[in-house]
Amino acid sequence: MDRREVIDKIKIRFDSLKNELKNEIHDLQLSLQQETKSSMGDKYETQREMIQQEITRTQEQLANLENQIFVSELNPNYQYIQNGNIVNLVFNKLNISIFIGVSIGDLKIENKVTIKTVSPSSPLGKLLVGKQKGDKIILNNNLYFIQDCY
Protein backbone atom coordinates (compact mmCIF):
# COMPACT_ATOMS: atom_id res chain seq x y z
CA MET A 1 0.00 0.00 0.00
CA ASP A 2 1.53 3.30 -1.14
CA ARG A 3 1.57 6.06 1.49
CA ARG A 4 1.01 8.82 -1.09
CA GLU A 5 -2.10 7.06 -2.42
CA VAL A 6 -3.52 6.76 1.10
CA ILE A 7 -2.84 10.43 1.84
CA ASP A 8 -4.44 11.51 -1.44
CA LYS A 9 -7.62 9.51 -0.74
CA ILE A 10 -7.81 10.88 2.80
CA LYS A 11 -7.39 14.43 1.49
CA ILE A 12 -10.22 13.92 -1.03
CA ARG A 13 -12.51 12.52 1.68
CA PHE A 14 -11.56 15.32 4.10
CA ASP A 15 -12.37 18.02 1.54
CA SER A 16 -15.58 16.24 0.53
CA LEU A 17 -16.81 16.11 4.13
CA LYS A 18 -16.08 19.82 4.60
CA ASN A 19 -18.00 20.67 1.42
CA GLU A 20 -20.95 18.49 2.46
CA LEU A 21 -21.19 20.27 5.80
CA LYS A 22 -20.94 23.71 4.16
CA ASN A 23 -23.70 22.78 1.72
CA GLU A 24 -25.87 21.46 4.55
CA ILE A 25 -25.45 24.74 6.46
CA HIS A 26 -26.35 26.72 3.35
CA ASP A 27 -29.48 24.62 2.74
CA LEU A 28 -30.57 24.97 6.37
CA GLN A 29 -30.07 28.73 6.26
CA LEU A 30 -32.25 28.88 3.14
CA SER A 31 -34.92 26.82 4.89
CA LEU A 32 -34.79 29.18 7.83
CA GLN A 33 -35.26 32.21 5.56
CA GLN A 34 -38.11 30.57 3.67
CA GLU A 35 -39.98 29.50 6.79
CA THR A 36 -43.18 31.54 6.72
CA LYS A 37 -45.20 32.46 9.72
CA SER A 38 -48.38 30.45 9.89
CA SER A 39 -51.50 31.13 11.84
CA MET A 40 -50.12 28.77 14.45
CA GLY A 41 -47.43 31.02 15.99
CA ASP A 42 -45.98 28.37 18.28
CA LYS A 43 -45.56 25.93 15.40
CA TYR A 44 -43.67 28.57 13.41
CA GLU A 45 -41.35 29.40 16.31
CA THR A 46 -40.76 25.70 17.08
CA GLN A 47 -39.86 24.96 13.45
CA ARG A 48 -37.49 27.93 13.28
CA GLU A 49 -35.83 26.88 16.53
CA MET A 50 -35.36 23.32 15.28
CA ILE A 51 -33.75 24.57 12.07
CA GLN A 52 -31.52 26.94 14.06
CA GLN A 53 -30.40 24.10 16.34
CA GLU A 54 -29.57 21.99 13.30
CA ILE A 55 -27.54 24.87 11.81
CA THR A 56 -25.64 25.25 15.09
CA ARG A 57 -24.96 21.50 15.31
CA THR A 58 -23.72 21.38 11.71
CA GLN A 59 -21.54 24.48 12.21
CA GLU A 60 -19.96 22.79 15.24
CA GLN A 61 -19.24 19.67 13.16
CA LEU A 62 -17.62 21.80 10.46
CA ALA A 63 -15.55 23.75 12.99
CA ASN A 64 -14.45 20.49 14.60
CA LEU A 65 -13.41 19.10 11.22
CA GLU A 66 -11.60 22.30 10.21
CA ASN A 67 -9.76 22.35 13.55
CA GLN A 68 -8.22 18.98 12.73
CA ILE A 69 -4.91 19.78 11.15
CA PHE A 70 -4.46 17.89 7.93
CA VAL A 71 -0.83 16.82 7.92
CA SER A 72 -0.41 15.23 4.51
CA GLU A 73 2.57 17.38 3.61
CA LEU A 74 4.52 16.62 6.79
CA ASN A 75 7.36 14.17 6.58
CA PRO A 76 6.47 12.03 9.55
CA ASN A 77 9.06 10.51 11.80
CA TYR A 78 9.11 6.79 11.09
CA GLN A 79 10.86 5.82 14.30
CA TYR A 80 8.27 7.28 16.69
CA ILE A 81 4.60 7.45 15.78
CA GLN A 82 3.22 10.95 15.33
CA ASN A 83 0.57 12.95 13.53
CA GLY A 84 0.69 11.97 9.84
CA ASN A 85 1.82 8.36 10.27
CA ILE A 86 0.12 5.26 8.98
CA VAL A 87 0.37 2.54 11.60
CA ASN A 88 -0.13 -1.19 11.09
CA LEU A 89 -1.41 -2.96 14.19
CA VAL A 90 -1.96 -6.65 14.84
CA PHE A 91 -4.77 -7.78 17.12
CA ASN A 92 -5.61 -11.51 17.40
CA LYS A 93 -3.89 -12.20 14.04
CA LEU A 94 -5.98 -9.44 12.45
CA ASN A 95 -4.11 -6.61 10.68
CA ILE A 96 -5.46 -3.10 11.23
CA SER A 97 -4.19 0.00 9.39
CA ILE A 98 -4.59 3.37 11.09
CA PHE A 99 -3.92 6.88 9.76
CA ILE A 100 -3.22 9.34 12.57
CA GLY A 101 -4.23 12.85 11.62
CA VAL A 102 -7.91 13.42 10.98
CA SER A 103 -10.93 11.48 12.09
CA ILE A 104 -13.09 11.04 8.98
CA GLY A 105 -14.14 7.41 9.22
CA ASP A 106 -12.87 4.33 7.45
CA LEU A 107 -11.54 4.41 3.88
CA LYS A 108 -11.17 1.53 1.44
CA ILE A 109 -7.93 1.56 -0.53
CA GLU A 110 -7.78 -0.42 -3.77
CA ASN A 111 -11.03 -2.17 -2.69
CA LYS A 112 -9.10 -4.41 -0.34
CA VAL A 113 -7.45 -2.51 2.52
CA THR A 114 -9.45 -0.49 5.01
CA ILE A 115 -7.67 2.42 6.66
CA LYS A 116 -9.14 3.68 9.90
CA THR A 117 -8.57 7.38 10.41
CA VAL A 118 -8.14 8.73 13.93
CA SER A 119 -7.28 12.05 15.47
CA PRO A 120 -4.10 12.15 17.57
CA SER A 121 -6.31 13.36 20.44
CA SER A 122 -8.58 10.28 20.24
CA PRO A 123 -8.08 7.50 22.80
CA LEU A 124 -6.32 5.30 20.23
CA GLY A 125 -4.33 8.24 18.85
CA LYS A 126 -3.12 9.17 22.33
CA LEU A 127 -1.98 5.60 22.95
CA LEU A 128 -0.08 5.40 19.65
CA VAL A 129 1.66 8.80 19.52
CA GLY A 130 5.24 8.44 20.74
CA LYS A 131 5.30 4.64 20.44
CA GLN A 132 7.42 2.81 17.88
CA LYS A 133 7.48 -0.32 15.77
CA GLY A 134 7.53 -3.39 18.02
CA ASP A 135 5.75 -1.71 20.95
CA LYS A 136 2.47 -2.96 22.35
CA ILE A 137 -0.54 -0.98 23.50
CA ILE A 138 -3.64 -1.94 25.46
CA LEU A 139 -6.99 -0.48 24.43
CA ASN A 140 -10.22 -1.63 26.12
CA ASN A 141 -8.34 -4.51 27.74
CA ASN A 142 -7.17 -5.72 24.30
CA LEU A 143 -3.50 -6.07 23.42
CA TYR A 144 -2.33 -4.61 20.08
CA PHE A 145 1.13 -5.07 18.56
CA ILE A 146 2.62 -2.24 16.48
CA GLN A 147 3.87 -4.05 13.41
CA ASP A 148 4.95 -1.05 11.33
CA CYS A 149 4.62 2.70 10.90
CA TYR A 150 5.22 4.77 7.82
| Interacting residues of 33 by C-beta distance below 8 A, sequence separation 6+ | none
pLDDT at 118: 92
| Interacting residues of 92 by C-beta distance below 8 A, sequence separation 6+ | none
Specify the pTM.
Answer: 0.71
Give domain 86-149's CATH architecture: Roll (3.10)
Using 50, 70 and 90 to split pLDDT, how confident is the model at 2? confident
Domain ranges of the chain: 3-67, 86-149
Average pLDDT over residues 121-150: 94
DSSP symbol at 38: -
Average pLDDT over residues 51-62: 91
pLDDT at 145: 97
> For residue 37, what are the CA distances in angstroms to 51, 52, 117, 124?
14, 15, 44, 49
Using 50, 70 and 90 to split pLDDT, how confident is the model at 39? very low
Average pLDDT over residues 14-38: 85
pLDDT at 103: 86
| 83-132 pLDDT tens trace | 888 999 999 999 999 999 888 889 888 777 899 999 888 999 999 999 99
pLDDT at 40: 57
pLDDT at 71: 56
Mean pLDDT, all residues of the chain: 85
